[in-house]
Structure 1
């Protein structure tokens, strides 16, 4: 069993605010079921070493502002935060069986497509690209090991209405409700939604999404470079289109 943990960086904006939020990233980390406990142990060890109680989120690494609400990393110095972030990415890299799959969406270009009308459409088609690559990855594994490989998807909890819509979209994909959808023969029915503070995998997916978002938006690849070896690749070693998918594919 392979588990795809998913979280986002940025929020899909409505058409009238597309230039305020020009990029949106869905970050995914694929974890084999027997490696989840190892990743959980790594996270707990790091939290203990850095004196952290509560969840770890990408936005908590930003410099603290006067009067801002405290978070689980507020007691750390900038240098300690950088060390922690590097250790988290090192944990991902250390397991060769973990794979990263992300979708980066260029919002203004996506809204030029005739089938993208709303923020929900942006999320839907980004999510579709992500789950398709997960399905392809499962098929690749199946050919390698010579037996059936199944997968499930675990997403971060959002607003109740957003969660309900995503469950329905996920069901449509697996049921073949969209003519343009791939065949999801390796995915087990149903979408699992978990609050990030209760999910080890979602916390790592959040850190991955943040690194890719910064890489795409401001061309700062310091953090992306630390996780780049773990991205899904083509047989020839290509990341783009396999582990890092741009939506739309062209124009940027």
Structure 2
């Protein structure tokens, strides 16, 4: 058995997002197609048709922006059974031809769809993994694999170890990235290969994580679209005590869902036999220990 880890980024442009996020969603290979079909059905149920047909993408920054929630709170009132038909009319004819009721319905459909996405992921026992990075975090100059990637791989490996123990059979991980530009993709592949081949911890983790990542187009791969929604919600809504950036309250229901999708590993670390390692981590310094010194 194998788990696909679909990975996407959010906030790396340092424009609006409060935190950089590298996020992934793990889906069991045997469940992938059934999950995809249910997500397609969720689109049709909420929007009256496939929202992502054509050039539209179900990206967090497009469908979960503040304007979406503001429109959903406006008058006039819309009955739940009216939402999909009104939303479909906007998608079919364009927003310029939609009434206030149509625009509100589309906003309601977007909000409901994301709720359904995370609920479907929970039904299939998917797990999320993420590294949240402070935008002012000191950067490493070592040229190796960045700490946010290292943390993500570490927590994915712990999950695979726990699944192997639970099932009694080796559970392998396949890494799938949203395609970057060619130069960045080659750099990332080179760094990943060096990490998994030339470091002791990387070689150990290569026993369960296949070191050769795949790159796909986000608009063609629904797993990457889920990872994008996870990354967006975590950046704007997930907070630990040491994270000072304000959270958007309207995203709180999604964060409650995502917290249930985290993996909790227990390992013997730092002299503690029951050290908790959660699959979502916050990083405020990307330098290595030697660089800090």
Name the structure where helix makes up a greater proportion of residues: 2
Structure ID, larger Rg: 2
Residues 239 and 198 from structure 1, CA distance in 2 versus in 1: closer, same or farther, beyond 3 angstroms? farther
SS at match of 2:210: coil
1:56 corresponds in structure 2 to 58
1:9 corresponds in structure 2 to 10
Contact 2:8/2:23 (<8 A) preserved:
yes
2:78 corresponds in structure 1 to none
Alignment partner of 1:89 is 2:125: no
With CA pairs under 8 Å and 6+ residues apart, which has the higher RCO, 1 or 2? 1
Q: What are the equivalent positions in structure 2 for 1:63-212 lying under 5 Å apart?
A: 63=67, 77-96=106-125, 98-108=126-136, 110-111=137-138, 116-117=140-141, 124-176=146-198, 178=199, 181=202, 183-184=204-205, 185-212=207-234
SS at match of 1:104: strand
Residues 12 and 131 from structure 1, CA distance in 2 versus in 1: closer, same or farther, beyond 3 angstroms? farther
Query: How many angstroms does 1:140 deviate by?
Result: 1.4
1:29 corresponds in structure 2 to 25
Residues 227 and 169 from structure 1, CA distance in 2 versus in 1: closer, same or farther, beyond 3 angstroms? same
Paired with 2:235 and 2:264, the residues of 1 have a C-alpha distance of 19
Alignment partner of 1:42 is 2:38: yes
**CA deviation profile, 1:36-58 (whole Å, cap 9, x unmatched):** 11211122112223121243111
Contact 2:266/2:277 (<8 A) preserved:
no
Paired with 1:175 and 1:191, the residues of 2 have a C-alpha distance of 14
Query: How many angstroms does 1:83 deviate by?
Result: 1.2
1:67 corresponds in structure 2 to none
Alignment partner of 1:244 is 2:280: yes
Contact 1:232/1:239 (<8 A) preserved:
no
Contact 2:266/2:275 (<8 A) preserved:
no
Alignment partner of 1:222 is 2:253: yes
Structure 2 residue runs of 5 or longer lacking an equivalent are: 69-89, 96-102, 240-244, 268-273, 286-293
Paired with 1:190 and 1:208, the residues of 2 have a C-alpha distance of 24
SS at match of 2:265: coil
Query: How many angstroms does 1:223 deviate by?
Result: 2.0
Q: Which runs of 4+ in 1 moved over 3 A?
A: 70-76, 178-182, 238-241
**CA deviation profile, 1:123-166 (whole Å, cap 9, x unmatched):** 82211110111111111111222222211100111222111111
Aligned residues: 232
**CA deviation profile, 1:68-112 (whole Å, cap 9, x unmatched):** xx999967622222111211121112222x11111111232x30x
Residues 239 and 30 from structure 1, CA distance in 2 versus in 1: closer, same or farther, beyond 3 angstroms? farther
